[in-house]
Amino acid sequence: MKTYYNYISIIIFIALVGCENDLPEIKQLPVLEPENVDTDAGNWQTVLDEDYFSSIFIQNPNDFTDDELNNEVDELINLTQNRTSAQEEKARFWSAGGVLRWNQIARDLVAKYNVPPVIGAAPDPQHPFTNPPFAARAYALLSVAQHDALIATWHYKYEFMREEPGKRISGINTLFPANELPSYPSEQAVIAQTSYEILAYLFPKEKDFLAEKMKEHINSTLWSGKTGRLDIMAGNSISTVVVEAVIDYSKNDRMNQSNDPNDEHLTYFNIPSRIDAPWECIELPLRQPMLPFYGLVKTWYDSTSIFQNAPEAPPSIDSEEFQEDLRNVREISDNRTREQWRISDFWADGGGTYTPPGHWNQIAEDLIVEAKWSEVKTARAYSLMNRAMMDAGIISWWAKYYYYLPRPAQLDPEITVATGIPNFPSYTSGHSTFAAAAGTVLGHLFPPKKQELRDMYIEAGISRIYGGIHYNVDNIAGRESGEHVGQLAIDWATMDSSD
């Protein structure tokens, strides 16, 4: 289990006063040289619209005029022969893989905005609070858009079979070795535009910063000689159609109803009939509970199965089983070891971080880089995992506001915590649920790492007990929910035509 601690990164608490300069430097990665270009990916199952292709128009490259072709060649020769060191550096940065790089950008934006709003302030769509449920949804929307757009891109690549410029044009000073993947449409242009549109939708104040990143990403493919201008232009229709579908989905997934400004959730869920000592916010000054209706947001996977397997009621607070659980938290609180402190800190993922879902995106990144997966296979992995984490969060939040179990420190004020006390009920543990869903999916995708990943998600859940903010019943019920959702993602994966 010791090997995975190299996944931790330094996250700086970031003041919300700007764009590029207040995001941390993104780590260097090797040039992507996929071991398999996944020639059949154009036939894989998309997540949203099975009829994308009826709305996408891609011009046949055989229909380009001589002037268009000559202009493309002249531009590539000029750019690659006169490439600056700064351009080469940027080209190498993006050559690690557009899906990975935009996921990193998304994680850093989540960290930047992961600061609770001023108490009493109205929600500001222009300045979102990227708490774990918001973050899980953001990662899911981005990865679904990348996934569906790249499947469409692969479909057209193998319809038109246009070789990379370096294979068909003399005089180009290419920066990286060519591979067998057709260049038309440019997958990097599709990733750049699709990712820009989704993240600008989620983070409106970052639109200018994101536009610069999109421009840099697209230009990097020209500077390296990997694609031509016509390859880049061909991806526009794909990005436009897929982004529209994903944003339409997001506008109808009920996320806009997940907050409750009138604080009526107690009445809605009829809490007093289910528990005799319901959770109360113990923050001072008092803050509204976080997203009490997130449990009603639309799931990506089979909602019937998810809710048929919803967590059962926790033990009665007066029961010996529950009291023993509470005493266990108190015992840890009174005698917390250095190792328990370290584990609690490692998995805390609180304010100013990527959040727990982002932590698992970072873990996935390291596995993907090691496996040398293609862009489309990388997008598939993120899509499977991030949809599972979002659904895991939904069922956890449903249980939280259905059962309204108080936090340990509410029942025993002598309990000290190793991390902040979240502003929502205890049962089930969001950390445990997010982690089990992600780890289950990744264990399917990376079978040699399955046991290590299971050990990781078990530890992530236990970390909250070590932190003094969850009971073991929260942890176990959350783990079971997460594993169930993860298995639903695996079931989807076995039928998406990718294997």
pTM over 0.95: no
Q: What integer pLDDT is reported at residue 260 of this predicted model?
A: 63
Residues making up the chain, counted from first to last: 499
Q: What is the token pair recorded at 402?
A: 């259905």
pLDDT at 289 over 50: yes
pLDDT at 9 over 70: no
pLDDT at 162 over 70: yes
CA dist 326 and 127 (Å) reads 38
pLDDT tier for residue 408 given thresholds of 50, 70 and 90: very high
pLDDT tier for residue 23 given thresholds of 50, 70 and 90: low
Identify the sign of the CA torsion 132, 137, 140, 141. negative
CA dist 190 and 193 (Å) reads 5
Mean pLDDT of 231-253: 96
Q: What integer pLDDT is reported at residue 273 of this predicted model?
A: 52
Which has the minimum average pLDDT: 19-28, 95-104, 448-457? Answer: 19-28
pLDDT at 475 over 70: yes
pLDDT at 267 over 90: no
Q: What integer pLDDT is reported at residue 123 of this predicted model?
A: 76
Which has the minimum average pLDDT: 33-42, 67-76, 244-253, 254-263? Answer: 254-263
Query: Would you tell me how many other CB atoms lie within 10 Å of the CB of residue 177?
Result: 9
Taken in order of first residue, the domains within the chain and their CATH numbers are 45-250 (1.10.606.20), 266-493 (1.10.606.20)
Q: pLDDT per residue over 164-223, tens digit each?
A: 999 999 999 999 998 899 999 999 999 999 999 999 999 999 999 999 999 999 999 999
Percent of the chain with pLDDT over 90: 82
Q: What integer pLDDT is reported at residue 271 of this predicted model?
A: 52
Percent of the chain with pLDDT over 70: 91
The residue to which tokens 């970052």 are assigned: 206
Q: What integer pLDDT is reported at residue 286 of this predicted model?
A: 74
- Rg over alpha carbons for the chain, rounded to the nearest Å, is 24
Please give the residue that has the higher pLDDT: either 282 or 465.
465
CA dist 60 and 490 (Å) reads 37
Q: How far is CA 115 from the centre of its chain?
A: 18
